[in-house]
Amino acid sequence: MVADAFSHVRTWVFDLDNTLYPPAVRLFDQIDRRMTDFVMRTLNLSRSEADFLRKRYWRDYGTTLAGLMMHHGIDPAPYLVEVHAIDFSVLSPDPALRAGIARLPGRRVVYTNGSAPYARRVIEARGLGGLFDAVYGVEDAGFHPKPQPEAFDAVFAADGLDPRSAAMFEDDPRNLRVPHALGMRTVHVAPEALPEAEAAHIHHHTGDLGGFLHRL
């Protein structure tokens, strides 16, 4: 049974974007556009150049912000405020997901490469308020993004969690490599599973997080 694989888990770590809400709502499309606008204005680039750079930095560093800080000395604070000033009305409460999370024993944590204030707004819009013991954003990792090991080290140390008794739920498979290496139970939350040859660091896959949690 799937539940047996999680019987030791006492800390449940959830990514935010495209994990605690389905990617079909396309919330992150708004953030992508605002990131491209920020890069265009700040670096004086065309839209196509800015969009290319946004994607390249995300691919190479885990977040566009990490590349902007490394190569252009961008101040992260105003950037995070600007790119997360979006319309949350596309999100709706998910009672089944709420019930599934509420049943989990131990600590429940959200850890995102976005900002913590943004994460709290998403949590509220999804009807998940009051469920989580802690919410960590990229600022809590010293602006090191997942999948960098330093990011996990900072957040897990701040939370005091033991990875050997924890599970990580995440839509980006890159961000499950370090948790797997640390001894966490890893769950890839996405519409499609990775090919088996690319999924050695993934214990479970689900396209329905609420349904998966109810099986635990």
* Domains recognised in the chain with CATH numbers: 2-22+92-214 (3.40.50.1000), 27-83 (1.10.150.450)
Report the pLDDT averaged over residues 157-167. 98
Alpha helices in the chain (DSSP H): 27-43, 47-61, 64-72, 76-83, 95-102, 116-125, 149-159, 177-182, 209-214
**What digits encode the pLDDT tens for the residues 170-182?**
999 999 999 999 9
pLDDT band at 19 (very low <50, low <70, confident <90, very high): very high
- In angstroms, rounded to a whole number, what is the distance separating the alpha carbons of residues 16 and 129? 13
* H/E element, 107: strand 107-111
Report the pLDDT averaged over residues 138-154. 97
pLDDT of residue 206: 98
pLDDT of residue 34: 97
Report the pLDDT averaged over residues 6-23. 98
Residue 170: other Cβ atoms inside 10 A: 25
DSSP category for residue 89:
T
pLDDT of residue 75: 96
